[in-house]
């Protein structure tokens, strides 16, 4: 178990002023069996209305609007969390999680990906099986930032043989869903400094366990989850719309450090 201090920073810069900027952010972690959030603060600017809510999968949402002219938008979320008292998070109703065993447009397997999936021995989604699958996915791709976009499907990334954490996760999801194993996309933060991260959670015997194919790592005490869903689209960290003809640039920085003290960012 680790105590982690995290700081998520998002900055959108527009090259011309815009108005009526509506946003929905999924960058607030929630407590569950594996991670216990002990302190949480968020700061958004500029904002006229701000609401909190939860989406259909229980992910925390921050949403609202800034009506006046603005040419940048900033969101900061920081806090402390205890991670890793448990490996998995239990589900009350495994039957209900079957939605995660069906492919979505982003995680639909094509011929090649299907062949790959069928070459894996997957029966129950048990940890030993999943570690092999994770390794196979990890070995099938080379990590290459910029090669793919957020819209790249699992099949496309698989045929290119490269991608980023999102693509590793999508390919693993697609492969597991070929075998009708309930598996979901998880977005979050990883110990260290960088951008946001993504991995996979697999349901086995009522317990969701995380596997990080990009790092070939079983999720234990280095990952802080922000959201989960069927694919990256369900976990979009930032979704927005505004009036105005500006080009936008998004900068995300994530800092997660091990912390002994109860000090916030």
Partner 1 sequence: MVLLQHAFCNASDFLTLMPTLKINNQYAHTSLKRVSGIGYGALNYGSVLALSGNCGYNSYTRHEERSSDNRRKKWFKLVNLDKLLKSTDDINGLLARYGVKFGIYKNGVFKEQLFPFDPIPRIIGKDEFSYLERGLKQRVTALNLFLKDVYGKKQIISDGVVPADFVYAASGYLAPCEGIVPPKEIFSHVSGIDLVLGKDGVWYILEDNLRVPSGASYPTIVRGLERRCSPRTFHDTPIEDNRNYPLLLRHVMDFVNTGGISVVLTPGRYNAAYFEHSYLAEQMGVPLVTCSDLEVEGDTLFFTGYAGRKERVGAVYRRISDEYMDPMTFRPESLIGIPHIFDVYRKGNVALLNSPGNGIADDKGIYYFVPKMIEYYLREEPILRNAPTYLPFYEADRKYVMEHFDTLVIKDVAEAGGYGVVFGSKLSAGEKERLRAMIAAQPRRFIAQEVIDFCDIPILDEGGQVERKADLRAFVLSSEEPVVWKSGLTRFSRNPDSFIVNSSQGGGFKDTWVLSL
Q: Does 150 bind partner 1 (CB under 8 A)?
A: no
96 binds partner 1 (CB under 8 A): yes
- Site residues for partner 1, 224-263, by CB under 8 A, read 230, 234, 239, 241
- Number of neighbours of residue 159 by Cβ within 10 angstroms: 12
Distance CA 260, CA 265 (A): 13
Task: Point out which residues pair with 40 in neighbouring strands.
Answer: 79
**Between residues 22 and 36, which has the closer beta carbon with respect to partner 1?**
22
Look up residue 122 and give its DSSP letter.
-
Given a contact cutoff of 8 angstroms between Cβ atoms, the answer to whether 40 and 79 are in contact is: yes
61 binds partner 1 (CB under 8 A): yes
- Any idea what DSSP says for residue 206? T
Q: Is residue 25 a contact partner of residue 8, using CB atoms and an 8 Å limit?
A: no
Identity of the residue, 63 or 87, whose beta carbon is nearer to partner 1 in the bound complex? 63
Instruction: Report the SS3 class of residue 233.
Output: helix
Query: Does 99 sit near partner 1 (CB under 8 A)?
Result: yes
Pairing outcome for strands 162-163 and 142-143: parallel
Please state the closest distance from residue 95 (CB atom) to partner 1, in A: 5
- Residues numbered 11-40 forming contacts with partner 1, rule: CB under 8 A: 22, 24
Q: Taking CB under 8 A as the rule, which mask of x and - marks residues 188-207 in contact with partner 1?
A: --------------------
- Stretch near partner 1 under the rule CB under 8 A, chosen from 10-18, 52-60, 198-206, 215-223: 52-60
Query: What CA–CA distances, in Å, run from 159 to 31, 113, 142?
Result: 37, 8, 12
Q: Which parts of this chain interact with partner 1 (CB under 8 A)?
A: 22, 24, 49, 51, 53, 55-57, 61, 63-65, 95-96, 98-99, 101-103, 230, 234, 239, 241
């Amino acid at each position: 178990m680790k105590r982690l201090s995290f700081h998520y920073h998002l900055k959108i810069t527009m090259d011309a002023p815009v108005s009526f900027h509506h946003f929905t952010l999924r960058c607030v972690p929630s407590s569950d069996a594996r991670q216990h959030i002990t302190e949480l603060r968020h700061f958004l600017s500029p904002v006229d209305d701000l609401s909190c809510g939860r989406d259909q999968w229980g992910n925390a949402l921050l949403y609202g609007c800034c009506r006046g002219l603005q040419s940048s938008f900033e969101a900061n979320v920081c806090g402390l969390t205890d991670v890793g008292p448990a490996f998995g998070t239990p589900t009350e109703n495994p039957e209900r999680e079957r939605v995660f065993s069906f492919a979505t447009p982003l995680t639909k397997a094509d011929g090649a990906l299907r062949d790959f999936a069928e070459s894996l021995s997957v029966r129950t989604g048990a940890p030993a099986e999943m570690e092999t699958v994770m390794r196979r996915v990890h070995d099938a791709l080379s990590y290459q930032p910029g090669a793919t976009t957020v819209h790249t499907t699992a099949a496309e990334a698989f045929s290119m043989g490269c991608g980023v954490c999102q693509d590793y996760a999508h390919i693993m999801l697609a492969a597991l869903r070929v075998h009708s194993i309930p598996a979901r996309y998880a977005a979050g933060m990883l110990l260290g400094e960088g951008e946001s991260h993504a991995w996979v959670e697999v349901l086995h015997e009522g317990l969701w366990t995380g596997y990080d194919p990009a790092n070939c790592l079983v999720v234990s005490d280095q990952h802080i989850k922000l959201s989960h869903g069927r694919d990256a689209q369900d976990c979009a960290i930032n979704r927005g719309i505004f009036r105005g003809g500006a080009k936008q640039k998004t900068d995300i920085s994530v800092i997660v450090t091990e912390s002994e003290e109860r000090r916030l960012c």
